[in-house]
Structure 1
């Protein structure tokens, strides 16, 4: 059967990007209409007898409804600034798109994850770049695993899902890990009564597969603002047109006057990477995007209407739809995107991937399975050679809070409250987690801070203090919460006044040349070894740079101990690249900052 969903593959992704939250009152009518439309559509499916026809209508109709739901949700989302990183910063570190591809492929290795199961061993492919939706690896790519070789030389082929009836050893995708979708599991036959690691089973030694990546011939960057509205910009075969620029979204149309390169294949990769800055110059995070223009939506609505007129599915009708779809797509010479952001847009940065010329890189993989536990009892440093250099552009902004002031800390606090549960009403004093918090450590002692609840007077202002037993409320400075039991209050409180301790680290920074490392620090290839007696990890952090002056990305870290749950001997930090300079950060003092507050309390709902 024709896969009518293919033109709508991006909509599922778009919907996944939307943040939870209801519509504003002004959009309630739209929401109601959408719910009615959804109900009518679902009822119409009941009358369709032909299962193939019903499936096709369900797929396309469901996609159109999902798109409409996404439009309503994106348009009604409150505009609140949320900042992220430059999603294409990494490309600036490599001379060509192909150099980025080579780094991506050659930096891949495989870790065996720690497991206490007697019949499961998880394997984690580790890529040098971490991409989170919507900033997936920007070039078309595919990874196919073929087999795992075990310590007894037996080869286990990859299968797309685990089989309950297969009595042998299996290699399949991990079903339990949603954060690492590339993870694999070697499953051994289950044997009753074995509760510890089954050492007698052959262990995974190497993983085979193939990886393919298509690199665009070039990447063009356009900086746009309101003045570019209605003035298309052309560079070579690329024309970019800013159709609209509103508070929190932009509409862009891209035309590539050259056909796609043969190396791209049948896929049409997304050539547009749209980012926005607000007036502070920081990058805003995206809240979602719509990649179908009015003409595309109208075409698929027309195809849906044709489907709904049919009594049964037929090969001739499938061919008709396919031909219409191909003809329509052939006429589409431009690419459209409507991108929403979390914040007020000042300027846009649009990166265009030009696939009119492209390079296909295909590599057969035969990767050893490595084991690096976070805590190790080994006395020697295990090597992790790395043939590529990768930088971490987020480190500089992360380290900015090493010089945080009391006022900056206080001003970052947000207060929220809940009275849904009268026996555990609570107020949360929250602030963004920073590098300063990381170095503040976990041992945060503080005297009890004073808290007083008050009634409200006739004017609704703060009235008399309420005398309470000590068990009526609890202040937890470490969690930043004040919990109170309204059942133990003689009268309803209206205000609470007090202070909660915050913790601020004093941090000393120093720069160290790797040719003159002090006692307690040593470098072995790309591994930095830190003696925990000299530089304990609860108060020290180290970051590495190479000759370019950029921070190197850390691959992983291992803490070596004398015995299980025993004294830490040394930590090892592995980097993508060769460090030439270190930055050290030491917590020299930890001070308590009293955050004074007066909170007007929400009233519990009357039952």
Structure 2
């Protein structure tokens, strides 16, 4: 978090200012966070000047949010959860600039299917996942400007769709919140005039501009508990491990070299902290606090000054800005306290050195491609891409192609729900694996015996309950047992039985792309798979290049002879040129019986109203 951009991401509370800056422990003794929040709201209500009120709300509210986050992180139960290497991307490219170029040159745009004659959706496809900054670690910005239509009309981008605009519009899509970069071309609706989508001017080229800031270098440090309190230096970069707890690390870094002049006004987070446990795997992050005591004290002081004002003035705003700049000029260290999901054994600290920076700015003129998930016809749309992107998750995912019955049964989790007495449930689930992907259609008939028992005076199982057939239902396909407590002669305490599960017997083969069998063909970066010989329900293909790394699949398209007809062949597009394929084929389904004895939850008693 960086308060400067904007004043809206911190924490600590206004009560700390009101009580004269006591320690956090004292503060907690004086009042609860809820009480301090209420006091802040009351103080806010007393401010009449709207501009001053907004400024106080931004800073004071942010201080409260950060305090809530700190409390939540400190109280979070210690549960181990693994994540991915945030710097895996960098390890595949010779320089940070090469990674930037791959991000920019790997971007393309596809037109999405739309059921509306008045909307056409456009999806920018990124070479790296766009849902986390850690997956593309460099500061970057993408701005759409316009779209050229088939009638040569240029439609400018606008931040939101206008109900009063009578023309064709280009704006962010409101239909798909999971892809915030999606765009929509909206055609005007004319009452009484029927116009099919394909009769509308079609989007041909999407225009925009992109900027990426690549650090001059990335410096890496590997630390453990023996390094607490010590400072390690590499060139101009110094790292001090302030503290290392069971599930957190507190770090201070300093770069004695000044930021490159062209990035001094840019929000930068130069620190990537990763942790491993005793297994050597990366732990996922639970959250972080990036403001140290000095920073918090400074913002508390600024908030205290705001509270003494009766109205906002330009001079006061300039005073705060000057104080902020003076503070930043004399406090150049970067602090972070990162919490992890698991016990920390070792730290990998990477510092992005922006004392030199490569800024790449490029205008984008991206052709809109038609690559629907299902296509009628045999014509294959080429998708030439000049970049190589690897799939770093593939190896870990594919290791579960061969799954032992014991691995499956040990991973099963049983969840209960008794909220609805007429439809109480036991749900059997396990973390998804690659093996699950190739199970295909499960057998319709499977023996899934279950017996319910009441409880005796010693809390043990009594005799089995005699139940009508409609009292419970077992669905082996979903792994759910549903039972109606209203049809039980007495409250059940135990369920004992066996839930059928399945493992796919998978045959793995390695294929040289120069000698592919009939039914497989490689055209550039596109793998064509005959669905008669290699049906997708039973086959999977992964590609590698000469480095031995798995290539990331861009997308897949299924071709059929007629609408809703059976697939003729699938086309898989890759970022890069495959030189080797791995095929995974389901040869058989192996049944696994999961025996269980479950102590049943009781329906919560409802207290009748007085």
Alpha-carbon distance between aligned partners in 2 of 1:365 and 1:311, rounded to the nearest angstrom: 49
After superposition, give the CA deviation of every residue in 1:320-354 in whole Å (9 maximum; x if it has no partner). 11111111111112101111111111111111101
> Do residues 104 (structure 1) and 86 (structure 2) align?
no
TM-score of the pair, normalised by structure 1? 0.94
Q: How many Å separate the matches in 1 of 2:476 and 2:371?
A: 36
Q: CA deviation at 1:49?
A: 0.9
Would the aligned equivalents of 1:30 and 1:72 in 2 still touch at CA under 8 Å?
no
Q: In the aligned structure 2, how far is the partner of 1:550 from the partner of 1:360? A: 29
Residue in 1 that maps onto 2:481: 482
CA shift, 1:381, in A, is 1.2
Do 1:546 and 1:581's aligned partners in 2 also have CA atoms closer than 8 Å?
A: yes
The 5 Å alignment of 1:508-519 reads: 508-519=507-518
Distance in 1 (CA, whole Å) between partners of 2:501 and 2:346 is 36
Aligned CA-pair RMSD = 1.8
Residue correspondence of structure 1 range 136-147 to structure 2 within 5 A? 136-147=135-146
Once the two structures are superposed, residues 342-373 of structure 1 have per-residue CA deviations (whole angstroms, 9 ceiling, x without a partner) of: 11111111111010111111111100000111
Is the Cα contact below 8 Å between 1:454 and 1:464 reproduced in 2? yes
Deviations along 1:523-581, one digit per CA (max 9) or x if unpaired, are 00000000011111111111000011100000000011122221210010000000000
CA distance in 2 between counterparts of 1:11 and 1:424 reads 45
Tell me, yes or no, if the aligned pair for 2:52 and 2:311 is still in contact at 8 Å.
yes
Q: Is the 8 A contact 1:446 1:592 kept in 2?
A: no
1:601 paired with 2:600, answer yes
Measured after TM superposition, the shift of residue 4 of structure 1 is 7.5
**Conserved 8 A contact 2:9-2:63:** no
Mapped partners of 2:580, 2:376: distance in 1: 29
* Range 121-130 or range 468-477, more displaced: 468-477
Residues 322, 234 of structure 1: alpha-carbon distance in 2 compared, 3 angstrom cutoff: same
The equivalent of 2:439 in structure 1 is 440
Indicate conservation of the 8 Å contact 2:89/2:135, yes or no. Answer: no
Map 1:55-204 → 2, pairs under 5 A: 55-133=54-132, 135-192=134-191, 197-204=196-203
Distance 1:245 1:495 in 2: 45
Q: What's the counterpart of residue 553 of structure 2?
A: 554
SS at match of 1:38: helix
Cα 1:361–1:252 change in 2 (3 A) is same
* Contact persistence 1:115–1:122 (CA under 8 A): yes
Aligned to 2:457: 458
Alignment gaps of 5+ in structure 1: 13-25
Structure 2 runs not aligned, ≥5 long:
12-24
Change (3 A) 1:11 1:106: farther
Matched, 1:217 2:216: yes
SS at match of 2:497: strand
Please give the alpha-carbon distance, in whole angstroms, between the structure 2 residues aligned to 1:213 and 1:4: 22
Contact 2:442 2:477 in 1 (8 A): no
Contact 1:477 1:500 in 2 (8 A): yes
Do the aligned residues in 2 keep the contact of 1:455 with 1:466 (CA within 8 Å)? yes
1:406 and 2:428 are equivalent in the alignment: no
Q: Aligned pair 1:528/2:527, yes or no?
A: yes
Please, what TM-score do these two structures have when normalized by structure 2?
A: 0.94
| 1:513/1:160 CA distance change after superposition, 3 Å | same
Q: Which residue of 2 aligns with 1:303?
A: 302
- 1:7 deviates by 5.2
2:468 matches 1:469: yes
Residue in structure 2 matched with residue 20 of structure 1 by the alignment: none
In the aligned structure 2, how far is the partner of 1:395 from the partner of 1:441?
20
Aligned to 2:39: 40
Distance 2:447 2:106 in 1: 51
Contact 1:4 1:59 in 2 (8 A): no
Say which is worse superposed, 40-49 or 389-398, in terms of deviation: 40-49
Q: Deviations over 1:6-42 (max 9, x none)?
A: 2555559xxxxxxxxxxxxx9xx88971111111111
Residue 3 of structure 2 contacts residue 10 of structure 2 at CA under 8 Å; is this kept in 1? no
Q: After the TM superposition, which residues 424-435 of structure 1 pair with which residues of structure 2 at under 5 Å, given as runs? A: 424-435=423-434
Q: Which residue of 1 aligns with 2:20?
A: none
CA contact (8 A) 2:446 2:476 kept: no
